[in-house]
Amino acid sequence: MTSTAPESRPGAGGRLLVPRLRGRAMTVLAGGSGVVQVVRSVGFSIGSALAGLVLAAHTGAGSTFPTETGFTTAAWAGTAAMTLAMVISLALRRTATAPSA
């Protein structure tokens, strides 16, 4: 009987799409995946709220839309947050993969 699971299908890098994690309990993997999803959702919500806060602060009384400065400020704030997150993740990655003496 031939399996039709994505990791066993030939062609188009089928074996690369779904990596096999042998020797790991599915509950451990599912738990880690759930935590990642929660963190991503919380991060997205906080980012959206902060962008809305910046845009609301740059919307004048009686105006429907924020000023151009508001959009620029929101974009720069997002860029700064992304850069900070990237630096932190690279620093944590280096310390996590450093060989122990």
At residue 18 the predicted structure's pLDDT band, cuts being 50, 70 and 90, is very low
Query: What is the gyration radius of the CA atoms in the chain, in angstroms?
Result: 22
Whether 1 is covered by a domain: the verdict is: no
Count: domains in the chain: 1
Whether 43 is covered by a domain: the verdict is: yes
Whether 75 is covered by a domain: the verdict is: yes
Q: Is residue 58 a contact partner of residue 35, using CB atoms and an 8 Å limit?
A: no
Whether 48 is covered by a domain: the verdict is: yes
Whether 40 is covered by a domain: the verdict is: yes
Whether 3 is covered by a domain: the verdict is: no
What is the span of the domain harbouring residue 78? Answer: 14-97
Q: Is residue 7 a contact partner of residue 14, using CB atoms and an 8 Å limit?
A: yes
Q: How far apart are CA 18 and CA 78, in angstroms?
A: 32
Whether 5 is covered by a domain: the verdict is: no
Q: Is residue 69 a contact partner of residue 89, using CB atoms and an 8 Å limit?
A: no
Whether 37 is covered by a domain: the verdict is: yes
Q: How far apart are CA 13 and CA 11, in angstroms?
A: 5
pLDDT of residue 16: 47
Q: What's the whole-model pTM score?
A: 0.56
